[in-house]
Amino acid sequence: MNPLAAYLAVAALLFAIGLAGALIRRNPIIVLIGIELMLNAANLNFIAFWRYGPHPEALTGMIFAIFSIAVAAAEAAVGLGLVIAIYRHAQTFALDKMNRMKG
């Protein structure tokens, strides 16, 4: 089997799992975990294309993946902070109950 295709297949499956989790769960923390899984699937694609691409010494895919990890960390911090703030305000944890933007 083509090694790049195998990694891409794993990443596609991981992305689909993360998307399904983000769409079907009611707990916002687990929705954020699903989003992290999707970002990780994209990182796996970056690294796989870097490894099997024509110019690995240019490091493009590797650097992109590292910056993407940094953005994902910032996103997780702000997202979980928002989740905690919303929970303290609304005292509920079901996403379908959070349907008001008014404070």
Partner 1 sequence: MSPVFYLISAITLAGSLAAMLLQRTVHCALAVTVAFAGLALLFLSLDAEFAGLVQILIYIGAVAILVIFAILLTRSAGAPRGEVFSPHWKAGVAIAAVLFVVLGGALLRSIAVLPHETAAPAVTMRDIGNAIVGRYVLPLEIMALLLTAATIGGVIIAVLEIGGEK
How crowded is residue 70: how many other Cβ atoms within 10 Å of its Cβ? 10
Burial 23-50 (b: 16+ CB within 10 A, else e): eeeeebeebbebbbbbbbbbbbbbbbbb
- In terms of C-beta density within 10 A (0-12 exposed, 13-18 middle, 19 or more buried), how is residue 94 classed? exposed
The nearest distance, CB 100 to partner 1, in angstroms, is 13
Query: How is residue 57 annotated by DSSP?
Result: G
CB 80, min distance to partner 1, A: 4
Site residue total, partner 1 (CB under 8 A): 75
Q: Which of 35, 42, 83, 100 binds partner 1 (CB under 8 A)?
A: 83
Residue 95's φ and ψ, nearest 5 degrees, are -60, -35
78 belongs to the binding site for partner 1 (CB under 8 A): yes
Report 46-75 residues binding partner 1 (CB under 8 A): 47-48, 50-54, 56-57, 59, 62-63, 65-67, 69-75
- Give, as ranges, the residues between 1 and 40 that touch partner 1 (CB under 8 A): 1-10, 12-27, 29-30, 32-34, 36-37, 40
Residue 4 or residue 100: which is nearer to partner 1 going by CB?
Answer: 4
